[in-house]
Chain A
Amino acid sequence: DTEVTQTPKHLVMGMTNKKSLKCEQHMGHRAMYWYKQKAKKPPELMFVYSYEKLSINESVPSRFSPECPNSSLLNLHLHALQPEDSALYLCASSQGGGAPYNEQFFGPGTRLTVL
Chain B
Amino acid sequence: AQSVSQHNHHVILSEAASLELGCNYSYGGTVNLFWYVQYPGQHLQLLLKYFSGDPLVKGIKGFEAEFIKSKFSFNLRKPSVQWSDTAEYFCAVKGNTGGFKTIFGAGTRLFVKA
Q: Which residues of A contact B (CB under 8 A)?
A: 4, 31, 33, 40-45, 48, 50, 55-56, 90, 92, 94, 98, 100-101, 103-109
Contact = CB atoms under 8 A, between A and B. Distances in A.
Contacts of B36: 106
Interface of B: 32, 34, 36, 42-46, 49, 51-52, 90, 94-102, 104-107, 109
A106 B43 contact: yes
Contacts of A40: 107, 109
Given A48-B100, A56-B101, A101-B51, A107 B32 contact: no
A50 B100 contact: yes
Given A48-B101, A56-B100, A100 B43 contact: no
Contact of A41 (B42, B52, B99, B106): B106
Greatest chain A CB density within 10 A among B42, B43, B96 is at B43
A115 to B, nearest CB: 24
